[in-house]
């Protein structure tokens, strides 16, 4: 303290925030929300094509992060990737739900118009991901793109590509292993 003024607290790393979250720290949850809610909302809107649905899934993802913070493993990836993966997965779960199938059809053209270009923090990651995807064999790249960027399930990809579901899953696993190795650059 200098002249009655305290220094601002040092900004915690994402991993430190998740550790604090695992310990029950509500402020850590708020900080993670402040850091990642816009990005996760963009993922949800892109996958679901509807802001209200994306908001509900976003809430669910942060509740899940709160409850499962102790499952985060920094050796498997960044906190950002952990949260984005959860948002992506929960968005796909929502699309596959019986309630979703009774709704109006998914507007893929609308979802494609939603862009991450407005978030400058994604530019570096996008370039790295595009370069890593370009290194994959064509069949592996295809299943990753259909799954992660078009939101198709393994069975939908199998039907579209006219291959067995097991083949889709094998290609996906191989591709994700190569992407992980390429993006982490040997960090383990």
92 with 154, same domain: the answer is: no
pLDDT of residue 102: 61
73 with 141, same domain: the answer is: no
Helix, strand or coil, per DSSP, at residue 74: coil
185 with 130, same domain: the answer is: yes
Residue at 2 is within a domain:
no
Which residue(s) pair with 2 in the sheet? 5
- How many domains does the chain contain in total? 2
What is the CB neighbour count within 10 angstroms for residue 140? 21
Q: Is 2 left (phi over 0), alpha (psi -120 to 50) or beta?
A: beta
pLDDT of residue 110: 46
127 with 157, same domain: the answer is: yes
Q: Which of 116, 138, 171 is the last residue of a domain?
A: 116
pLDDT (mean) for 142-159: 77
**pTM of the predicted model as reported, rounded to 2 decimal places:** 0.55
Q: Which CATH number is 28's domain given? A: 1.10.1740.10
20 with 46, same domain: the answer is: yes
Contact 44, 56 (CB under 8 A): no
Nearby residues of 100 by Cβ (< 8 Å), 6 or more positions away:
94
pLDDT of residue 127: 67
Distance CA(123)–CA(184), nearest Å, equals: 17
Percent share of the chain, pLDDT over 90: 9
Q: Which of 59, 85, 116 is the last residue of a domain?
A: 116
Domain that holds residue 42: 11-116
Report the mean per-residue pLDDT for the chain.
Answer: 77
Q: Choose between 94 and 148: higher pLDDT.
A: 94
pLDDT of residue 125: 62
153 with 109, same domain: the answer is: no
Q: Which of 69, 90, 116 is the last residue of a domain?
A: 116
Q: Choose between 146 and 23: higher pLDDT.
A: 23
Contact 163, 146 (CB under 8 A): no
48 with 65, same domain: the answer is: yes
Q: Read off the pLDDT of residues 99-147 as tens digits, 9 standing for 90 and up.
A: 766 665 545 444 444 444 444 455 556 667 777 778 888 888 888 877 7
93 with 167, same domain: the answer is: no
102 with 69, same domain: the answer is: yes
Q: Read off the pLDDT of residues 48-61 as tens digits, 9 standing for 90 and up.
A: 887 888 899 999 99
Residue at 4 is within a domain:
no
């Amino acid at each position: 303290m200098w002249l009655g003024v305290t220094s601002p607290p040092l900004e915690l790393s994402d991993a430190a925030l998740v550790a604090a979250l695992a310990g029950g720290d509500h402020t850590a949850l708020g900080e993670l929300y402040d850091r990642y809610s816009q990005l996760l909302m963009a993922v949800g809107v892109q996958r679901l094509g509807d802001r209200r649905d994306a908001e509900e899934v976003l809430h669910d993802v942060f509740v899940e992060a709160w409850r499962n913070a102790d499952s985060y493993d920094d050796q498997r990836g960044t906190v950002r990737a952990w949260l984005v993966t959860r948002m992506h997965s929960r968005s796909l779960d929502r699309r596959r739900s019986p309630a979703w199938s009774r709704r109006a059809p998914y507007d893929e053209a609308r979802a494609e118009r939603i862009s991450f270009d407005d978030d400058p923090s994604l530019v570096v990651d996008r370039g790295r991901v595009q370069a890593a995807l370009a290194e994959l064999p064509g069949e592996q790249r295809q299943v990753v793109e259909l799954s992660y960027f078009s939101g198709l399930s393994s069975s939908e990809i199998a039907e579209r590509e006219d291959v067995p579901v097991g083949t889709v899953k094998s290609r996906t696993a191989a591709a994700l292993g190569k992407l992980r190795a390429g993006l982490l650059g040997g960090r383990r």
